[in-house]
Each structure stands twice: as structure tokens, then as C-alpha cells.
């Protein structure tokens, strides 16, 4: 997201200092997650970002383009962490615990609940195919880590990955239902539950949690 390809503004509030494209994305995120995607016009996004609609078209020509960038932005950090973890030599259960914890935290971060965009009925739109490809990439990383855990058959790993992802993404619905969600408490619970689904012994889960908590802090530091 460059600042250089900016255009003169109409007027208006934001000017976050982050550049026009970022202002548009923030405005759209806020409106999509409060007013709703279907009910938000590109005109309303431009106004919220303090731009003329004609200036916004310099950055995005359709609403679904903005949605796609927002959706991809929710996945990118998790995919990066997953790739780092796939290369690590830590035990698979440790790496899976760390991935669950960090993924829950990412979904819970930011001023608005961007994960709720995953639930939009509009997500079948072929224009959003890249999101589904990238999400499949993240799911594959989960599947691969799960397949590397003791006692998991390769043929089972895919269904187990669906269940683990459902647990991780449950934070989206919880965040919608509870305004004061305690993520510091919830994230490790979800990571524990994910490992239990794999039918690992309580000792393995406990050992993985202790070691993974340290690993997770290393990974979540700014790189």
C-alpha cells in the first residue's frame, strides 16, 4: 500500500497519514463490518474516507476489489506464520498449538471484526476466487501440521483440519456476540482444544502448550 500514488483529496476527515489507499480500506472495513457489505455503496466509502468518488476510482473500480484486499489482508499474516512453522524443526503438536494461538489472536485484532467478512453470502462471487485460493493454502498448512502429529492418519488429516479451523474461526462469532472478549484467556483455550481434537494424550498437550507459548511469542514479535 503505497503513499506515492495519491491524488488530491476532496476534503474531509480521515487523513490518517497512512496514504489514501489505506484510508479507503479503513473506511470500507468500518462500513462493511457495521452497516454491512451489501448496504454499503462505493459513494459511502469515498465519503467516509474523505474523498470524491471519482478520486476513489483511481484506486479501486469496484466494491468487490476493496473486499478482496481486506479479505487477503486477514489471511496474509497467518499464512506467513504457518510457512515459518512448517519449516521449523519443533514437534508438530508444538507448532500446531502456536499456529492456532496466533491465528486466533490475529482474527481478534484490529478495530473491527474483519473475520466476519468470511461469513458474507457474497463470498461465492467468482471475483473473490483469490481469497478462496489463499484460504485453501492456510488450511493446507494446518492439514500438513496435523498430518505430522503422532497417531494421525493422512486420510484423517483433512477432516481434522476442518474442525481445528472451525474452532480457530469461532472467535469471529464470539467477537460478534461479546463486545469484551478476553482474548488472552480464550486463545490458549482454543489452541488446547485443537490439540485435544487430535486425540493426543494430556501429557503431550501440556508439553506442547508450554513449549509453544514461548515459540508463539517469538513469532509474533515484529519481523
Residues at the site binding a second copy, with contacts judged by CB under 8 A: 36-39, 116, 119-122, 159, 162-163, 166-167, 169-170, 173-174, 186, 189-190, 193, 196-197, 199, 202
Question: Considering the complex, what minimum distance in angstroms separates the CB of residue 133 from a second copy?
Answer: 13
Query: DSSP string of 76-128?
Result: HHHHHHHHHHHH--S-HHHHHHHHHHHHHHHHH-SSS-GGGGGG-GGGG-GGG
What are the DSSP calls for 191-217, one per residue?
HHHHHHHTT--HHHHHHHHHHHHHHHH
**Least distance between a second copy and beta carbon 221 (Å):** 28
- Closer to a second copy by Cβ: residue 4 or 179: 179
CA distance 210 to 175: 26
Grid cell of 27 as nine digits: 473506511
3-class DSSP assignment, residue 49: helix
Judged by DSSP in three states, 11 sits in: coil
Closest approach, Cβ 168 to a second copy, in A, equals: 9
**Which is nearer to a second copy, 81 or 168 (by Cβ)?**
168
Q: H/E element holding 9?
A: none
**3-class SS at 19?**
coil
Nearer Cβ to a second copy (165/219): 165
Q: Which residue number, 57 or 118, has a Cβ lying nearer to a second copy?
A: 118
* Cβ-based neighbours of 38, under 8 Å, separated by 6 or more: 122
CB 187 to a second copy: min, Å: 12
CB of 152 to a second copy, least distance (A): 13
Cβ distance 42 to 59 under 8 Å? no
Q: Which is nearer to a second copy, 1 or 173 (CB)?
A: 173
Select 87 or 177, whichever has its Cβ closest to a second copy: 177
Of the pair 13, 36, the CB lying nearest a second copy is at 36
Q: Give the nearest distance from C-beta 181 to a second copy in angstroms.
A: 10
Q: Which three cell numbers stand for residue 31?
A: 462500513
All 3 cell numbers of residue 104? 486466533
Query: CB of residue 140 vs a second copy: minimum separation in angstroms?
Result: 14
Amino acid at each position: 500500500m503505497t503513499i506515492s500514488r495519491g491524488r488530491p483529496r476532496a476534503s474531509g476527515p480521515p487523513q490518517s497519514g497512512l496514504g489514501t489507499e489505506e484510508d479507503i480500506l479503513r473506511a470500507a472495513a468500518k462500513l462493511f463490518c457495521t452497516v454491512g457489505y451489501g448496504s454499503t455503496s462505493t459513494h459511502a466509502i469515498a465519503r467516509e474516507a474523505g474523498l470524491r468518488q471519482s478520486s476513489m476510482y483511481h484506486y479501486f473500480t469496484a466494491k468487490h476489489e476493496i473486499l478482496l484486499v481486506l479479505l487477503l489482508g486477514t489471511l496474509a499474516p497467518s499464512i506467513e506464520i504457518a510457512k515459518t512453522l512448517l519449516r521449523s524443526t519443533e514437534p508438530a503438536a508444538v507448532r500446531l498449538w502456536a499456529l492456532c494461538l496466533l491465528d486466533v489472536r490475529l482474527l481478534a485484532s484490529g478495530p473491527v471484526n474483519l473475520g466476519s467478512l468470511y461469513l458474507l453470502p457474497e463470498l461465492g462471487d467468482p471475483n473473490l476466487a483469490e481469497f478462496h485460493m489463499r484460504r485453501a493454502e492456510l488450511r493446507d498448512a494446518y492439514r500438513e501440521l496435523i498430518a505430522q502429529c503422532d497417531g494421525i492418519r493422512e486420510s484423517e488429516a483433512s477432516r481434522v483440519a476442518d474442525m481445528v479451523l472451525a474452532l480457530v474461526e469461532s472467535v469471529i462469532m464470539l467477537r460478534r456476540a461479546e463486545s469484551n472478549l478476553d482474548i488472552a484467556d480464550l486463545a490458549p483455550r482454543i489452541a488446547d482444544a485443537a490439540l485435544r481434537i487430535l486425540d493426543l494424550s494430556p501429557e503431550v498437550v501440556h508439553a506442547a502448550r508450554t513449549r509453544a507459548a514461548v515459540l508463539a511469542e517469538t513469532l509474533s514479535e515484529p519481523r
